[in-house]
Amino acid sequence: MVDVDAILEAAHLKNDSVREYVRYWAGVTGADNIEVVSVEDDTRLIEEALAAGEILPAGNGLYYSRSYYKDTARSEERTIVATSNPSDKGVYNNWYPAAEMKAKLTGLMTGASKGKTMYVIPYLMSPPGSPVEKYAAGVQLTDNRAVVLHINRMARVGAEYINNLADPDSFVRAVHVTGDLENLGQGTPEDKRYFVTVADERTILHFGSSYGGNALLGKIAHGLRQAAYDGWASKKFLAEQFMLLGITDKVTGKKWHIAGGFPSASGKTNLAMTLSPDALGDRYYVEFYGDDIAWMWVGSDGRLYGMNPEFGVFGVAKDTNEKTNPTAIEAIAPGSKSIFTNVAYNAKTQEVWFEGRTSAPPADLDGWTDWKGGLIADRLPAEANDPWAHPNSRFTTTLANVPNVADDYENPVGVPIDGIIFGGRTRDREPLIRAIRDVAEGVYDGLTLGAEATFAADGLDGQLRYDPMSMRPFMSYPEGPYAAHWLSIIGQCTDKPIFAHVNWFQRDAEDGHFLWPGYRDNLRALLWLMQLRDGEVTGIESPVGILPAKEELVLDGLDIEPADLDKLLTIDTDRWKQEIGFRKAHLEQFPNLPEEIWEAHRRVAEALGE
């Protein structure tokens, strides 16, 4: 048995509650060794991981990591929120009793780290000093060194973040045990993976994965599920899967901040990192604050404030290139210490590649392996069109590497939020942008956010998979109280953000091309929204919100067919009438939905003539 106390003492880990927690899980997992990590250890850990073959060199100061081939994405079916109160059960949170889950996970983790080192990672999901710092401290335990390297980039890591807590017990206990990945029965009825947040005990127990979305517990489990629960239980804040950006008008000196929820793989990272279109670059400057999580609270001046609890970006690699996202390309450039996961890799040239990085894959196949490690040159004819990179392959880099990261991204005060936007992949019906001034209608719009379902296959005829506020996979308490908490927080603001729904993904009914060029041009829709908020434009009222008049949009340098633009700025009333019926059925699943939300629904339905 290792002398846990001597190791913690030597690592200057002073918090007694933390020591007790580490001692307990060291005993359960049976780890051979304990090591406390701070970000200063990163260079040594990189060397060790390279020597052990856990990561591979991918050029100057860049690294490649491959997770097990059945372990490449978040697993929603295996993700559970547990508490001791059955009334915490919602429609999407996959609730189980805490006692049952703690026993199950303790059983699975018993002896499961034998022969391994258990890394102790004290972290903070907030800039130090923020009004929500109290909810931000955590200690992740993991038996996986590559996971440590990711967390060093994604969170603020060091003993100093937890040694002097006002309440020494108020840190999130986040235990990650990788498990024997080749014998976990992933996707079968005998699946042994469990990703559990025991929300009312602020304890996270994840077993059976080393992929970021299941293993970086500060990010998805603490930053989203636990924080959403804490924000609700304390009545103090919201924690949402939102990006956060700033726009400065260099002519007037005005600066706006916009937060927004888009379901996974629907454009948050790309929007938060966007640059002005070339034609507008002299006037507007976009700053990056966050690309995946925002915590939001009401400031003493009556405005909504937001901050990004993360310290890095875990972004979708696919289609990231100089044209779509030049900022990301710079952030993952040589020397950035970025890690690429599950992309294609060339061991001879130490290069990485993923679909959309260049228009065609490298012509010389020599040395190239796909995300599973198979040589591309050895592929059978039937495999010729398989992607080289996994569609959910990712890059990991720190915020400081993002060239347009805001100067004040570490300011603990956060930023005042002027607008809240929702957007999903919607091939028809949803216009480019529609603004919503009424808070209940804005919250209603978030609750009915949808992402495109494969309706062609299952015959749902345009029906969407609803993803409330883009939080469906991260929902930790019931949807009715969730809506009420939103109404309460925004209701407390005396200077409220304007809401809007955006859609970059409308397609032509005939040939399927995207009507809107997207990416950097998305800024044009956001500028209109901020001008509407400031009373500089009036827009056109529609049954589902205010649409831009064409002449109100800044169109300089925009390459678009006039007919496509017209389509993007109109409402298809028949499709909307059909949608109202779907929405009613969606909302009826949620007990105790606030009456204000139903009133908002009825107002929209009536305006549509339903």
Site residues, ligand GTP (CB under 6 A)? 262, 264-270, 291-292, 315-316, 318-319, 324, 504, 514, 518-519, 522
Regarding 135 and contact with ligand SPV (CB under 6 A), the answer is no
Is residue 520 marked as binding? yes
The answer to whether 56 and 37 have CB atoms below 8 angstroms apart is no
Residue with the CB atom nearest ligand GTP in the bound state: 518
Radius of gyration, CA atoms only, the chain: 24
Among 66, 219, 425, 496, binds ligand SPV (CB under 6 A): 219
Residue with the CB atom nearest Mn ion in the bound state: 292
Is residue 394 marked as binding? yes
Regarding 161 and contact with ligand SPV (CB under 6 A), the answer is no
Contact string (CB under 6 A) for ligand SPV, positions 64-83, x = contact: ----------x---------
One DSSP character per residue, 444-483 reads HHHHT-EEE--HHHHT-TT-EEE-GGG-GGG--S-HHHHH
Cβ 254 to ligand GTP, closest distance in Å? 24
Among 291, 292, 521, 596, binds Mn ion (CB under 5 A): 292
Q: Which residues fall within 8 angstroms of residue 419, CB to CB, at 6 or more apart?
A: 256, 257, 258, 259, 260, 497, 498, 499, 500, 526, 529, 530, 533
Identify what 213 binds: ligand SPV, Mn ion, ligand GTP, none; CB under 5 to 8 Å per kind: ligand SPV
Among 264, 346, 476, 522, binds ligand SPV (CB under 6 A): 264
Cβ 50 to ligand GTP, closest distance in Å? 27
**CA neighbours closer than 13 Å in the CB half-sphere of residue 163:** 12
Residue closer to ligand GTP by CB (options 96, 354) is: 354
Is residue 270 marked as binding? yes
Q: What is the DSSP letter of 8?
A: H
Regarding 213 and contact with ligand SPV (CB under 6 A), the answer is yes
| Residue listed under structure tokens 């081939």 | 69
Per residue, the 3-state secondary structure of 239-294, as one string, reads EECEEEEEEEECCCCCEEEEEEECCCCCCHHHHHCCCCCHHHCCCEEEEEEECCCE
607: enclosing H helix or E strand: helix 595-607
Is residue 267 marked as binding? yes
Identify what 326 binds: ligand SPV, Mn ion, ligand GTP, none; CB under 5 to 8 Å per kind: none
Cβ 396 to ligand GTP, closest distance in Å? 11
Regarding 467 and contact with Mn ion (CB under 5 A), the answer is no
The answer to whether 595 and 481 have CB atoms below 8 angstroms apart is no
Q: Which token pair is 481?
A: 């109280």
Count the site residues for ligand SPV by CB under 6 A: 8
Residue 299 CA to residue 304 CA, distance in Å, equals 6
Residue closer to ligand GTP by CB (options 291, 418) is: 291
Is residue 235 marked as binding? no
Identify what 514 binds: ligand SPV, ligand GTP, Mn ion, none; CB under 5 to 8 Å per kind: ligand GTP
Is residue 265 marked as binding? yes
Stretch that binds ligand SPV, among 213-221, 439-447, 498-506, 600-608 (CB under 6 A): 213-221
Identify what 219 binds: ligand GTP, ligand SPV, Mn ion, none; CB under 5 to 8 Å per kind: ligand SPV
Q: Which residues pair with 498 in a beta bridge?
A: 419
Site residues (CB under 5 A) for Mn ion, limited to 257-276: 264
Is residue 24 marked as binding? no
Residue with the CB atom nearest ligand SPV in the bound state: 213
Site residues (CB under 5 A) for Mn ion, limited to 474-493: none
Q: How far is CA 239 from the centre of its chain?
A: 11
Give residue 519's region: left, alpha or beta (phi > 0; psi -120 to 50): left
Cβ 248 to ligand SPV, closest distance in Å? 27
Is the Cα torsion angle 564, 316, 56, 403 positive or negative in sign? positive
Is residue 393 marked as binding? yes
Is residue 519 marked as binding? yes
- Catalytic-labelled residue, pool 126, 210, 266, 276: 266
145: enclosing H helix or E strand: helix 145-154
Site residues (CB under 6 A) for ligand SPV, limited to 289-348: 292, 314
**231-237, Cβ contacts within 8 angstroms, sequence gap of 24 or more:** 231/135, 231/295, 231/485, 232/477, 232/481, 232/482, 232/485, 233/200, 234/135, 235/485, 235/488, 236/132, 236/297, 237/132, 237/135, 237/295, 237/296, 237/297, 237/489
Residue 314 CA to residue 342 CA, distance in Å, equals 13
266 catalytic per annotation: yes
Residues that bind ligand SPV (CB under 6 A): 74, 212-213, 219-220, 264, 292, 314
Which residues are catalytic, by number?
A: 266
Binding residues for substrate: 74, 211-213, 264, 392-394
